[in-house]
Amino acid sequence: MSQLRPFSKLPALNTATVLLVENEEQFQQSLAEALVEETSVTVNVRLSKSLPLPTDSDDSRPRIDLVVFIINLTSELSFQSAEASLKYLDPGYFLGKVCFMVTNGRNASVPMERLDAVRKLAATLHCPLLFAEDKTPDGVASAAERLWTILKVAAGLVPITTALYLSNLSRCTLPPDIDQPSFN
């Protein structure tokens, strides 16, 4: 089983690389286009349907600073695929270099259990969980901006901050159920 390792390669100067993993391959393209518009440093965006990544391109691939799992909540497959991909990541990634991005979070057809499952997954892995509005241009731009905020830190571009520090502070927590009768 080939795992992706966070520190097996040297970082390039003024470069940040992000890997977007999405089973549907719908949102990652527009997100990538919005991300590379950042001009202050070189942003490399790698796209993948799932992990593991093919081994033959191992050498040409730059060091990946941040892995983003995009989960479409309307599809169970999307969640399962992300969950299955997780084991191809080196544990070092979970020290602040993984985040989850969820789309369709406010859709009526999404079962509450699936959202809870995603939340639980992110919480147990101590990763941040972002929500995104992938249907509107503003939503895409905002999602890209938020990813860039995390990527900057993960790529070591922000002085006196580390990826682990940010991720630890912004990691997902399991909220109490407001609807429970005990909540009063």
Q: Does 139 bind other proteins (CB under 8 A)?
A: yes
- Contact (Cβ atoms closer than 8 angstroms) between residue 100 and residue 15: no
CB nearer other proteins, residue 31 or residue 53: 31
Rounded Cα–Cα distance for residues 159 and 30 (Å): 29
Rounded Cα–Cα distance for residues 68 and 98 (Å): 6
Q: Which stretch binds other proteins (CB under 8 A): 6-14, 47-55, 63-71, 145-153?
A: 145-153
Rounded Cα–Cα distance for residues 7 and 10 (Å): 7
Q: According to CB under 8 A, which one of 128, 154, 155, 163 is a site residue for other proteins?
A: 128
184: its two tokens: 């009063």
121: its two tokens: 């997954």
For 184, the 3-state DSSP assignment is coil
Site for other proteins in 76-105 (CB under 8 A): 104-105
Which DSSP state fits 69?
E
Q: Does 54 bind other proteins (CB under 8 A)?
A: no
CB nearer other proteins, residue 38 or residue 50: 38
Q: Does 39 bind other proteins (CB under 8 A)?
A: no
Q: Which residues form the interface with other proteins (CB under 8 A)?
A: 74, 104-109, 115, 128-133, 135-136, 138-139, 141-143, 145-146, 149-150, 153, 158-161, 166, 169-173, 175-176, 178-179, 181, 183-184
